[in-house]
Structure 1
Amino acid sequence: MKLISLVPALAPGTTDPARWKVTGRRVLRSEWSKFWSLRSSWITLAVSVAVLLVFGVIAAAMYRPPAAGSATGSADGVPADAVALALTGTSMSGLIVGVLGVLLSAGEYGTGMVRSTYAAVPRRWLVLVSKSAVLGSLVLVLSTLGALLSFGLGKAGLHGERIALALGDDGVLRSLFGAGIYLALFAVLGVALGSLIRSTSGSIAALVGVVMLLPGLAAVLPGDVQDSLEPYFPGNAGAAIHVLHRASDSLSPGAGFVVFAGWVGLALAAAVVQLKRTDI
C-alpha cells in the first residue's frame, strides 16, 4: 500500500536565511496589521477625526460677530478667522491621538506581548520606528482630510460673515495641512513617551503635562524669562504650525514645526536609548 505523507514538501528556497530575514519593510507590515487587528485602535482614530470635524462645524454654526469696536476682531475668546473656527477641536483631537500612541507602545508592556515582539525583532528600534510611521502616516492623512472637511462644511455657517474665507485664500491650505502635521507629530510623541516610560498611566500623564500643563507652570518664572521660553514649549510650538494669523509673541509656522518636531525627535531618541539599555 502506498503511504501518503501528511507533511507537505518544502518549497524550493525555504531554507534560504534571506527568506526569513527581519527587514524594516516586514516589521512595518507587521505593525500595520497589528494596528488594524485591534478594534480599539481604529475606533479611537476615527473618534479623533470626528472630534476635529464636529467641533469645527459646531463652532462655525454657533459663531456670532464680535461687538462693534472690538480691537481684536473677536469677542469672549471667539477665534477671529474661519480657519481657527474649523480647527477648534485640534487640541482635543491631539490629546486623543497622543493617548492612542501611548496605548500602542506602552500597552504592549502592560500585556507582556512586548516580549514576543522583541524576540521576533532583535533590532528593537525598528519596532519603535514602525509604530511611529504607521500611526503618524494614518493620523496625517485622516486628520488633514478631517480639517479640510471641517473647513468646507463650516463655510455654510459662516456665509456672509466678514471672517469667511475660501480654500484658495492666502494661508488657508497651509494652516489646514499644518493641523494634520501637528496631530501626526502629537501621535508620534505619544508612541515615543509610551516606549520610554513603559507605563500607560505614567506616559499619558507625561504627555498631558509636557504639552498642556507646562506653559501654565511657566507662569512662576520671571516675566522676561517666561516670554523668551514660552514660544518654544512643545504645546505652543505645535500650535504655531496651524495658525492662520501669527501672534506677535509666537513662532512662525515653519519655526513652530522645527521646534515641535525637535521635541518629538528628542523623545524618540530617548526611547531608542532606553530600548538599548534595558533587557525588555
Structure 2
Amino acid sequence: MTVTDLAPVPAPARTTYKVTGPRVLRSEWAKFWTLRSSWITLAVAVVLLIAFGAIAAATYSPDATATGGPPGPGSGDSDAVSLALTGVTFASLAVGVLGVLLSAGEYTTGMIRSTLAAVPRRLPVLWSKAAVIGPIVLVLSTIAALAAFQLGKLGLDGEKIALSLGDDGVLRSLAGAGVYLGLVAVFGVALGVLLRSSAGAIAVLVGVLLILPGLASLLPDSWYDTMNPYFPSNAGSAVYALHQSSDALSPGAGLAVFGGWVALALIGAAVRLVRSDA
C-alpha cells in the first residue's frame, strides 16, 4: 500500500487595500449622497434661488420708490441679473449649513472616529469633503441661477432693465453666483471641522456672512469705508455683481478676497484636524 504525502494547501493571499486620495474621495461622495439631509438642503437652496429671483422679477416696478413703495430689489438701479440673484443670500445660508452638516455632523454622531481610523493621515478627509461639496453646489446653483434669470425674463418683458444671456457680463455674473455658493459650501465644511459643533459652526457662518457687515457699521466711517469691501459676504457679492459700484471690489478681486477667507478657514480646520483628537 502506497502512502502519498499531501502538501498543505497554501492559504489564499490577502488583498491589501491602500488608502488613496481617489478612494477617500469616493467614500466621501457616497456619504454625501446617502445622507437625506444632503438632498433636502440642496433642494431648498435651489428652490430659494429660483423662487426669490422669479418673484423679484415678477413684482418689479420702476416707479416703486417714486410712488412711496418700500425700497427693495425691484426698485432703484436694479438690473435683470440682480433681480434673478435676489435669492443668493438665502441660498448661501442653505449651502453653508449643508457644508457644516457634512463635516461637523460626523463629530455629533461619533462617526468621525471610524473615518479617521480608516484614513489615519486625516487631511485627505478634509480635502475630499471640500472637493465633493464644492463642485456639486457650484453646478446646481449655476443651473438654478440660469433658471431664475430665464424665468425672470418673463416678468421683465418690455422693461428697460430686461437683459438676455448674450448681453455683456450676464453669463459671467450668473456663473459667479455659482462659484460664490460653491465656496460658501466649502467654507461651511471648514467651519464644521474647525469648531466640531454643528450649532456653533452654523452660528459663526451666519454671523460672518450676515451680521458682521452690519456690526461694522458701528465703526468710524473712515474705518468702515476701508474695511467694508473686504468682509466675506461683500467680497463674495462682488463676484456675481453685473455692475461694479465705486465702493466695491472688482469681480476678480472679490473672488480672490473671498477665496482667501475660505482658504484661511480650511488651513485652521486642517491644523486642528491633525493636532487634535477626534
* TM-score of the aligned structures, taking structure 2 as reference length: 0.91
How much does 1:65 deviate?
1.7
CA shift for structure 1 position 211: 1.4
- After TM superposition, the structure 1 = structure 2 runs for residues 1-280 of structure 1, keeping only pairs within 5 Å, are 10=12, 15-17=14-16, 20-66=17-63, 76-79=71-74, 80-280=78-278
Alpha-carbon contact 1:66-1:75 (below 8 Å) kept: no
Partner SS state of residue 57, structure 1: helix
For the aligned residues, what is the CA RMSD? 1.7
Q: Which position in structure 2 is the counterpart of 1:6?
A: none
CA distance in 2, matches of 1:78, 1:90: 12
Task: Tell me if structure 2 keeps the 8 A contact 1:195–1:271.
Answer: yes
Q: What is the match of residue 3 of structure 2?
A: none
CA displacement at 1:69 relative to structure 2: 7.7
Identity of aligned residues (%): 64
Q: Distance in 2 between matches of 1:78 and 1:269?
A: 36
Q: How many residues align?
A: 264
What 5-or-longer segments of structure 2 have no aligned partner?
Answer: 1-10
Which runs of 5 or more residues in structure 1 are unaligned?
1-8
Q: Is contact 1:56-1:87 (8 Å) kept?
A: yes
1:4-43 C-alpha deviation (Å, 9 max, x unpaired): xxxxx85xxx6354xx000110000000000111112112
| Offset, 1:221 | 1.4
Matched-pair contact (CA < 8 Å) for 2:97–2:185: yes
Q: Which amino acid aligns with 2:202?
A: I
Cα distance in 2 between the residues matched to 1:68 and 1:123: 58
Divergent runs of 4+, >4 A: 67-70
Contact map agreement 1:109 1:199 (CA 8 A) in 2: yes
Report the AA paired with residue 206 of structure 1: V
Equivalent residue, structure 2, for 1:3: none
User: Would you say the 8 A contact 1:155–1:164 is kept in 2?
Assistant: yes
Other structure's SS at 1:99 match? helix
Deviation at 1:274, TM superposition (A): 0.3
The answer (yes or no) to whether the contact 2:64–2:71 under 8 Å persists in 1 is: no
Distance 1:15 1:271, change over 3 A: same
The 1-side partners of 2:194 and 2:131 are apart by: 17
Deviation, structure 1 residue 58? 1.0
Q: Distance in 2 between matches of 1:111 and 1:133?
A: 22
TM-score (norm 1): 0.91
Which amino acid is the alignment partner of residue 22 of structure 1? V
Q: Shift in Å at residue 77 of structure 1?
A: 2.8
Residues 198/76 of structure 1: CA separation in 2 closer, same or farther (3 Å cut): same
Mark the CA change 1:105 to 1:172 in structure 2 (over 3 Å): closer, same or farther. Answer: same
